[in-house]
Chains A and B, each alone.
Chain A
Amino acid sequence: MTLGTGTESALIIDIAFWVIAVSSIVAAFAVVQLRDLFRAALFLAVSFLGVAGIFILMRAEFLAIVQVLIYVGAISVLVLFAILMTRDIEQGNPSNRLRIPAGVLSVLFVLVTAFVLVNTEWTLIDDAIPTMESVQTELVLSTETVEEVAEVYSNTVPKIATLLLQDFVIAFEAASVLLLAAIIGALALVRNR
């Protein structure tokens, strides 16, 4: 038995993942490279939608909805407002003199991270599920555990709510205080003296 409906290793899922991931990466690159700031903000929204697609593929559907609502719906619009209110027509999106060191650092970061990721021995949930084929790790989850794991992923919304209000309630309240501070700060910045 597998976690999902057994289609997660299908080719169409791989194609969908790579289409979404590559479009998200290309849109992210367009954000930092385009001269026209307005189009860069629109490509930012495309990148956020790509990330929401990846969330759905990772079976975090509630998180995908939250991502679309908050990032695409609120933050992209806020960035567009800011761009329209601070129009600098001659020079849209120039680079400063740290362009080449930043580029080298970014490429180095990706290479080091990819090297570390490929060479780590992960204990994957999919490997630990007892199947007819050979089990690849020492850890073998029991059948009840696998069923409970599958049941958790079938509907994550009430379970995230349980976690937020029982286990992570302090962080939840702290996030509320953070939002209050942000509101007060924004109001203090824009009021007329």
Chain B
Amino acid sequence: MSLENSLIVGAVIFAIGLYGALSKRNAITVLMSIELMFNAVNISVVTLSRYIVPAGLVQNPGATADEILRLLLTGQVFAVFIITVAAAEVALGIAIVITIYRSRDTVFVTDVNQMRR
């Protein structure tokens, strides 16, 4: 378990999500792939926050406890915000998909390429 291994795991999950988001027709599969990409970014951010010496600590080796706290846990706070945004986005995305399904009776993204029927 090292930094490179964990970041490569994050990159692989991101690439799988990217493939799903680009190449699938079902809108719900696309949304699931976007969630995979969000998770991969979360893995990367938390891994980097745990392993890397923050730049503020390099420039200021005698930092106080508060500054160390702020420098170290920024990654985890960022991950909390990413989770929040992902939750809001997938909820709205699914609401849109269900609305389109009700009016056009399809969930395939290739079939909803016209604004007006």
Contacts and interface: CB of A to CB of B under 8 A. Distances in A.
Interface string A136-170: 00010110010011011100100110111001100
A175 B81 contact: yes
B41 to A, nearest CB: 11
B99 A190 contact: yes
Interface in B6-36: 6-9, 11-20, 22-26, 28-29, 31-33, 35-36
For the residues of A in contact with B, the DSSP-based class is: helix
Contact of A83 (B5, B28, B42, B80): B28
Nearest to A113: B11
A44 B7 contact: no
A79 B43 contact: no
B110 A96 contact: yes
A71 B98 contact: no
A54 B76 contact: no
Contacts of B16: 25, 28-29, 31-32, 106
A118 B7 CA distance: 10
Interface of A: 8, 13-14, 17, 21, 24-25, 28-29, 31-32, 37, 40-41, 44, 47-48, 51, 54-55, 57-60, 62-63, 66-67, 70-71, 74-75, 78-79, 81-83, 85-86, 88, 92-96, 98-99, 101-103, 105-107, 109-110, 113-114, 117-118, 122-126, 128, 139, 141-142, 145, 148-149, 151-153, 156, 159-160, 162-164, 167-168, 171, 175, 178-179, 181-182, 185-186, 189-190
Interface of B: 1, 3-9, 11-20, 22-26, 28-29, 31-33, 35-36, 39, 42-43, 46-47, 49-53, 57-58, 61-63, 65, 68-70, 72-74, 76-77, 79-81, 83-92, 94-99, 101, 106-110
25 contacts: A13-B1, A21-B9, A32-B20, A37-B26, A54-B47, A55-B43, A79-B32, A93-B25, A93-B26, A95-B25, A98-B23, A102-B18, A102-B19, A105-B18, A105-B22, A110-B12, A113-B7, A113-B11, A125-B51, A142-B62, A149-B68, A160-B77, A163-B69, A167-B70, A175-B85
